Amino acid sequence: MRDWSLASLAGLGSAALLGGALFFQYVVGLAPCELCILQRWPHLVAFVIGVIVWFFPRGWLMGLGALAAATASGLGIYHTGVERGWWEGPTACSGTVDLTTLTPQQALEAIMGAPVVRCTDVAWEMLGLSMASWNAILSAVLVGVWIIAMRRA
């Protein structure tokens, strides 16, 4: 397989992961949390790079694709840690705001502005791994594909 087609395949892999997330959101009905949505952006970038590489096969573009996929994998690892309680997540979606230190108005604003889905909740899992964990694993595989394509360029 040629380097540009391998890189484009990696871009399509990111598109598939993004499509899967949108499928779970709009067809299955699982509302995403703030970190779930954040993990989608690097996949969009990787997909766009995969399309560009199809027309302009450059090694540095493939490196950017690998970086985008690595970012998605890193965010998936971070989200997995938040879900499993290994570390704290963003206060906006982890429910870690200390309402006792706020004025009544600030507390009401914090409650009303809080997302419906908490980043600490696992909405779906397969083989004991959440969607964030699967995103981390599959994105890491895509990093490998991008790097192989880049080395062949």
pLDDT, tens digit, for every residue of 76-96? 999 999 988 888 877 766 655
> Residue 111's pLDDT is what?
60
> Residue 52's pLDDT is what?
94
Cα–Cα distance measured from residue 65 to residue 51, given in angstroms and rounded to the nearest whole number: 11
In 83-120, which positions are buried (b, 16+ CB within 10 angstroms) versus exposed (e)? Answer: beeeeebeebbbeebeeeeeeeeeeeeeeeeebebbbb
> Residue 1's CB: how many other CB atoms inside 10 A?
11
Cα–Cα distance measured from residue 118 to residue 26, given in angstroms and rounded to the nearest whole number: 18
Q: What are the extents of the domains in the chain?
A: 3-152
* Residues sharing a CB contact under 8 Å with residue 129, sequence separation 6 or more, in sequence order: 137
Residue 115: pLDDT band with limits 50, 70, 90: low
* Residues sharing a CB contact under 8 Å with residue 21, sequence separation 6 or more, in sequence order: 32, 36, 39, 40, 43, 131, 135
Structure tokens at 59: 């090694």
pTM of the full structure: 0.79
pLDDT, tens digit, for every residue of 12-47? 999 999 999 999 999 998 888 888 889 999 999 999
Say if domain 3-152 classifies as CATH 1.20.1550.10: yes
Amino acid at 41: W
Cα–Cα distance measured from residue 83 to residue 86, given in angstroms and rounded to the nearest whole number: 8
